[in-house]
Structure formats: structure tokens, C-alpha cells
Amino acid sequence: MRIPLSSPDVTDLEIRYVTEVLKSPNLSLGPKLPEFEQRMAQYVGRKHATAVNSGTSALHLVVRALGIGDGDEVITTPFSFVSSANCLLFEKARPVFVDIDPLTFNIDVNKVEEQIDKKTKAILAVDVFGYPAEWSRLEEVAEKYSLGLIEDSCEALGVEYRGKKAGCFGDAAVFSFYPNKQMTTGEGGLIVTDDDHISMLCRSMRNQGREEGGEWLEHRRLGYNYRISDINCALGIAQLERLEEILAKRAQLACWYDERLRGMDGVITPFSSSEVKRSWFVYVVLLAERFGRNERDRIMQGLKEAGIGCQRYFSPIHLQSFYAEMFGYRRGDFPVAEYVADRTLALPFFNRLTEEQVDEVVQNLKRLLL
């Protein structure tokens, strides 16, 4: 693609920090790991941070740390990246999907309580596309029914909701640092929590079940190799030092798109609210009702033929083939999520995207909408 969908923003600072690690004897489990964790905990405003090799690993460890297991149910959203539900299947728990809000694309809090029963162990909500779920209401529901609450903020680093940063809600929160995220470690994830026990369990389980400070070949519990290298952490430290600059660039890009697309027939721009400071992960528009899946896919193909990267976001989890086979889901079960999934279109969005390139994307989109 002449204008790709996404591209990482790596500068000489990142290269220098990574090179310093490569010249050291500590490529893994070295000093950059605790430094990255401490800096991230301070940034988010949580007591503990545990860095791992992916956002999926982070979710899995939180699920285990909360004791969610065989026969338990967890309320979550069908409109997300598949790992937010897969992490429950890893522990033989069942995802119980609740349809989404048509404006924010997040889980519809008004529909959560009706799905709670004696098997419900927790709520796992997702900050979709860098827009936060209604955490104040979700916290009230979780407290009312004595449920765990997991904040999947993999797409929301830097968000502020009612004066608090994403990652500050629930028993624990997770972030992802894949290259298309606001900041990257190449591959990586992070768990943040104020709970000492959750933190201890996650740190142990990411490193084969070893206790911190214990003997190298002593294993206290079942664990995994979910470690992240000092190379990745050094990249993350550099990105964190530049994070405000990065978030400002992405906000400017979103502003350019908003200005050019607002009022365009057939396009609905992302929802905004005065109580939220959004952190832009992707720029996803919703096509008008007259455009179904086939029309959306035609427009995508036209953009790609013009050299412009684009993608649909997301395919509903409940309609993924193995979920449909395992649980018997079918089209029509979660109509809002399906409606949105049929009409969402992600446009090119990365830090070095220029205003002229935004103009070109918008002009081609307008042409294809006719």
C-alpha cells in the first residue's frame, strides 16, 4: 500500500535504548524489566505493573489470578479482538456475551445485569478503539453482585475517563503493545493492579510458576513462559518517554479526519463525549445503514486498489466459526454488534501520516461512496 493502514513510530531514541541492552549481558530478566514496570505503574496510577509478552497473556494471567475456571461464566462483549473471550476458554470458563452500545461500541451496561446468574464470576469489559467503557456503572454492578471486574484496555493507553486514566478500574487492567497500538514494545503486554495477591500470582505465573526471589528451578504453582525481554522493555521505555508526543500526533490525525468527514453523506465519525479524553488507537468510521457488508467490502477493495490500506473492525466473536460450533451462536443473536461489524471501516492511522495523505484517503472514500 502507498498509504498503509498502520506503521510503528520508531526514532533514534528507541534504537539507542535497544542497542544499549544488546551491548549488555542482560537480554532477559535484567534491569530494564523492573524499570519499565515501575514507569508504567506510575504513569497509569496503579500500585503494581507486570510486563508480559502480549496482551493476550496478560488477560490469561488475570483470569487465572481471579480464580476463574471450569464452569464459571464471565460477562463480556462480542465486539472485540477474539483474545478477550479466548482468555476465558483457556480456563474452561464460558464467555457470556452482552450486546454493545450503538454509539460507543462498548458493552451495553444496561443489559449486563439481566445476564448475571449463580455461575457468573466476573465482568470483562473492553475499551473499544480507545474509548472507555462505562466503568463507574460497571464497578457498581460488580460490587452489587460480588463479581470480579477486568478492564481490557489493550486499545486505550492514555485514555482519561472522568479524570482517571484507563487501567485504574476494576480488580486489574491489561494493556497491549503490539506495533499498531499507541505505543509499542514490538510484542508485549502489561497487567496493572492495586491488589498485592493478584500481582504476586501474575508475576509468578508469567515465569513458569516461580516465586520472586526463589530458586531458579523451584516452581510454586503452574505457570507459563509469558516473559518479555529487556530488549522489548527498552523499546517500551523509549516509547513511554515519547507517549505524550505520540498521543498528540494521533489526536491531530483524528481531528483532520473529523474535519473532512463530518457531514459527509454515508459516513458516521467516531463518537465523542465531554467526560472522556480519548486515546486514538485506530480511526474507524461507521458507514450509513444503506451500506451493508457487501457494499463495505466493495469500498474497501476500491481503497486498496488506490493503494490505501484499510480494514474492517471487528468480526463479531460469536460468529467466529469455532464459537458458533462450540456454543451454537448464529447471526441475529447480538444484532447491534453485527450491524456495527458489517459497516465499520478502519482508515489509515499512524503517527507519520501526513495531512496530504489524509486528504487523499478522504477523497477516495468520497468517490467510492457515490
- Would you state the pLDDT for residue 320? 97
- Would you state the pLDDT for residue 277? 95
Q: Which residues contact 184 (CB under 8 A, 6 or more apart)?
A: 8, 177, 178, 235, 236, 239
Q: Do residues 207 and 278 share a domain?
A: no
Q: Do residues 188 and 279 share a domain?
A: no
Q: Do residues 156 and 210 share a domain?
A: yes
- Would you state the pLDDT for residue 212? 85
**159 lies in some domain:** yes
**3 lies in some domain:** no
**30 lies in some domain:** yes
**326 lies in some domain:** yes
Q: Do residues 252 and 237 share a domain?
A: no
0.75 exceeded by the pTM? yes
Q: Which domain holds residue 308?
A: 243-369
Q: Do residues 164 and 41 share a domain?
A: yes
- Would you state the pLDDT for residue 214? 82
Q: Do residues 131 and 207 share a domain?
A: yes
How do the pLDDT tens digits run along the chain, 370 residues long? 999 999 999 999 999 999 999 999 999 999 999 999 999 999 999 999 999 999 999 999 999 999 999 999 999 999 999 999 999 999 999 999 999 999 999 999 999 999 999 999 999 999 999 999 999 999 999 999 999 999 999 999 999 999 999 999 999 999 999 999 999 999 999 999 999 999 999 999 999 999 988 888 999 999 999 999 999 999 999 999 999 999 999 999 999 999 999 989 999 999 999 889 999 999 999 999 999 999 999 999 999 999 999 999 999 999 999 999 999 999 999 999 999 999 999 999 999 999 999 999 999 999 999 8
**46 lies in some domain:** yes
Q: Do residues 89 and 110 share a domain?
A: yes
> What CATH number is given to the structural domain containing 258?
3.90.1150.10
Q: Do residues 220 and 255 share a domain?
A: no
Number of independent structural domains in the chain = 2
Domain C-terminal end among 221, 241, 261 = 241
- Would you state the pLDDT for residue 370? 86
Q: Do residues 59 and 144 share a domain?
A: yes
CA angle, 298 then 315 then 246, to 5°: 90
Q: Do residues 134 and 214 share a domain?
A: yes
Q: Do residues 205 and 63 share a domain?
A: yes
Looking up cell 497473556 gives 57
- Would you state the pLDDT for residue 302? 98
Domain C-terminal end among 241, 267, 298 = 241
**3-state SS string for the chain:** CCECCCCCCCCHHHHHHHHHHHCCCCCECCCHHHHHHHHHHHHHCCCEEEEECCHHHHHHHHHHHCCCCCCCEEEECCCCCCHHHHHHHCCCCEEEECCECCCCCCECHHHCHHHCCCCEEEEEEECHHHCCCCHHHHHHHHHHCCCEEEEECCCCCCCEECCEECCCCCCEEEEECCCCCCCCCCCCEEEEECCHHHHHHHHHHHECCCCCCCCCCCCCCCCCECCCEHHHHHHHHHHHHCHHHHHHHHHHHHHHHHHHHCCCCCEECCCCCCCEECCCCCEEEEECCCCCHHHHHHHHHHHHHCCECCECCCCCHHHCHHHHHHHCCCCCCCHHHHHHHHHEEEECCCCCCCHHHHHHHHHHHHHHHC
> What CATH number is given to the structural domain containing 223?
3.40.640.10
**302 lies in some domain:** yes
- Would you state the pLDDT for residue 286? 98
